[in-house]
């Protein structure tokens, strides 16, 4: 047939909108191009006339949206000859950094909070061969250390304070607009370090400015109750939440995220851990979509604001599901403690009885 | 802009090649459309002139290739009014069945071998709300039970003996041909229940017959040493392997898979658990790609056959990575026991020292 259409990642796809040169060596794992799935059952349960879509970033190569930024950050680090990258992380950034460093053939140092990282993310950092520094402290302390270390050590920071990260991440907005044919009315995101909401807004504004779309969404940022600096109006010293990916008290992209909220006419709000986990379970059990706890903050927040009428009926809403549910199997299983976990004999009567019991 | 190009799954995309009607209600989670990633570093390490691509099926909605078949099987079950589906599973099929049943609003019963299923897969079955029957037996016993139960109970079997499963799975070959512009010279797959190698061959033959491509690959099937019925030429009563996804002794698609191997001029071979895990780690550490152990059998087998010259130099090789590495975090972490796991103080000197130590 002759044509070939191999998808080779978001830098190749959006080359003219990203800061790369013709001869830049692209470090890619085929990130981006993630599904935008329309929810069918949750809107029915809510009995509200809204279109809700989820941008399922768990389909990225390392299972989170971080890959979008990391392909850019590592590509640019390699371009200037960097031999090592470093980041602080609640787990997803370290997985992405480790994977793209492996692909590039350079070294990755990752600082993670000891004992506060989901199992899957720990497995990833190890398997991809990163040098894992587990610190007795939280993400914010790790972030502060990374910034100091990079002043003298020959390492490139790949946290979202690296400007190339947000450049890569803005492509998610491009994909949403292309999938729908327009920008949504509301775009809902979990907010931790606040880079992603900033990047999405950058992407929407760019497509709007260039006339690719003639509308922009209100940006809605949802935080966990125990880690909600935007609601408090100041950093939180000891952030705590089951949603480890947004267990961050001192967001590095504070000003950018605040601007996104204000310019778009959106808002920040917070959810209890209970409500976050409830939304995670609803998505899995009613839509067949399994995201990590932090991701569910976007849908949990959207559902609440739809029910209250704050999000208007007739609206088109996109929620970003930032990470794969498989990142955190322990929290998922702990949530299902009520499930009957009985082992039965491998015999026909036992299986028939079990099925009949459940069919009742 | 007006155009909209939302990807809505493989049934919509390949509608004219799949057994669905115009008014069939499609049960989809946006499966398929997975990346075909060219390996850069492993071919260099092997010092052989071959193009190796991996079809990364871990990007599917539930993290494995099973979603391709399940969208078809559940769509057809719903079409005939089925209220419940059932399967035996080593874990990936149960995750997919549970997710698509949730999306469809019907019930899923899954039979899994007690204690022999990877953690992520167990979390999925629970979270998606399946009725999980853990049997004191292995996959083959579960499969046998499922077939008996379905004779009388009002449930549709969604194992790969359900013909719609392979129809959905054949689309992976379509995607490979479209990505490359041709079929590869060799296509390597892990072989457990043997449905997937059968489905890929079906897909390649269909595109060849219709002139979409003018070549077909040799189909290479790799089994785990402790679960290698195709090498033994007979079922294995007590299959054992760390690669739980292919811990199967009595493949249901025996004849189809044998035909695929013979008609294509390919071969079956086996790998030790040690070699499977080695390949898994090499992929992660040198390419930044994290698959589950079973998946690595394809790349491990390909690497061995490339080195021995059995796979000819100058060839184009595609290896299917059937499932996401996050499915089995425990096996990954156990493999990295040599990694230094020291927690350090959240202080600059401690971090600087740790980095300098590793830089040496």
ipTM beyond cut 0.85? yes
CA closest to B334 among chain A residues: A123
Residue A219: what pLDDT? 98
Q: Which pLDDT tens digit goes with each residue over B20-70? A: 999 999 999 999 999 999 999 999 999 999 999 999 999 999 999 999 999
Q: Which pLDDT tens digit goes with each residue over A143-164? A: 999 999 999 988 999 999 999 9
Q: B325 Cβ partners below 8 Å, 6+ apart?
A: A123, A124, A127, B58, B280, B284, B290, B291, B292, B332
CA distance A232 to chain B (A): 26
**Cα–Cα distances in angstroms (integers) from residue B89 to residues B86, B110, B113, B119, in the given order:** 10, 7, 8, 14
Q: Which pLDDT tens digit goes with each residue over A98-146? A: 999 999 999 999 999 998 899 999 999 999 999 999 999 999 999 999 9
Beta-carbon contacts below 8 Å between A and B:
302
CA distance B43 to chain A (A): 13
Average pLDDT of B332-357? 85
Cβ separation A180–B354 shorter than 8 A? no
Average pLDDT of B5-26? 96
Q: Which pLDDT tens digit goes with each residue over B174-207? A: 999 999 999 999 999 999 999 999 999 999 999 9
pLDDT at B109 over 70: yes
Mean pLDDT of chain B: 95
pTM of the entire predicted model: 0.97
Residues of B in contact with A141 (CB under 8 A): 346
Do strands B51-56 and B131-136 pair parallel, antiparallel, or not at all (unpaired)? unpaired
Nearest to A344 among B133, B325, B339 (CB): B133
Residues of B in contact with A103 (CB under 8 A): 40-41, 287-288
pLDDT at A1 over 70: no
Give exposure, A126-151, as e/b (b: 16+ Cβ within 10 Å): bbbbbbbbbbebbbbbbbebbeebbe
Nearest to A346 among B141, B212, B332 (CB): B141
Chain A touched by B96 (CB under 8 Å): no
Chain A touched by B333 (CB under 8 Å): yes
Chain B touched by A360 (CB under 8 Å): no
Nearest to A133 among B1, B111, B351 (CB): B351
pLDDT at A296 over 80: yes
Residue A211: what pLDDT? 97
Q: Which pLDDT tens digit goes with each residue over A231-283? A: 999 999 999 999 999 999 999 999 999 999 999 999 999 999 999 999 999 99
Chain A touched by B349 (CB under 8 Å): no
Chain A touched by B128 (CB under 8 Å): yes
B161-180 residues touching A, CB cutoff 8 A: 177-180
Average pLDDT of A199-205? 98
pLDDT at A341 over 90: no
Dihedral sign, Cα of residue B84, residue B90, residue B93, residue B98: positive
Average pLDDT of A25-53? 97
pLDDT at B3 over 70: no
Nearest to A142 among B63, B103, B346 (CB): B346
B202-261 residues touching A, CB cutoff 8 A: 211-213
Nearest to A290 among B124, B152, B343 (CB): B124
How far apart are alpha carbons B134 and B131 in whole angstroms? 10
């Amino acid at each position: 047939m002759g044509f070939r259409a191999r998808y080779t990642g978001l830098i190749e796809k959006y080359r003219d909108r990203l800061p790369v040169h013709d001869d830049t060596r692209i470090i890619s794992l085929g990130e981006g191009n993630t599904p935008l799935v329309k929810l069918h059952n949750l809107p029915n349960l809510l009995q509200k006339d809204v279109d809700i879509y989820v941008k399922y970033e768990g389909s990225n190569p390392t299972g989170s949206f971080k890959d979008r930024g990391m392909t850019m950050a590592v590509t640019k680090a390699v371009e200037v000859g960097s031999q090592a990258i470093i980041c602080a992380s609640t787990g997803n950034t370290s997985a992405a950094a480790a994977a793209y460093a492996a692909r590039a053939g350079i070294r990755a140092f990752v600082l993670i909070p000891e004992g506060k990282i989901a199992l899957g993310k720990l497995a990833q950092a190890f398997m991809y061969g990163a040098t894992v520094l587990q610190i007795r402290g939280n993400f914010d302390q790790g972030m502060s250390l990374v910034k100091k270390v990079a002043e003298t050590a020959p390492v490139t920071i790949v946290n979202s304070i690296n400007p190339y990260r947000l450049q890569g991440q803005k492509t998610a907005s491009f994909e949403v607009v292309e999938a729908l044919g327009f920008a949504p009315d509301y775009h809902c995101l979990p907010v931790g370090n606040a880079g992603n909401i900033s990047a999405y807004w950058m992407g929407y504004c760019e497509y709007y400015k260039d006339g690719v779309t003639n509308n922009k969404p209100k940006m809605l940022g949802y935080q966990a109750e125990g880690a909600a600096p935007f609601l408090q109006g100041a950093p939180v010293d000891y952030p705590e939440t089951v949603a480890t990916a947004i267990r961050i008290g001192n967001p590095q992209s504070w000003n950018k995220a605040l601007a996104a909220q204000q310019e778009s006419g959106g808002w920040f709000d917070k959810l209890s851990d209970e409500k976050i986990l409830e939304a995670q379970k609803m998505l899995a059990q009613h839509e067949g979509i399994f995201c990590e706890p932090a991701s569910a903050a976007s849908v949990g927040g959207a559902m609440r604001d739809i029910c209250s009428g704050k999000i208007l009926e007739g609206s088109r809403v996109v929620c970003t599901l930032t990470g794969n549910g498989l990142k955190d199997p322990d929290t998922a299983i702990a949530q299902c403690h009520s499930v009957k976990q009985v082992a039965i004999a491998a015999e026909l009567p036992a299986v028939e009885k079990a099925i009949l019991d459940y069919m009742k």
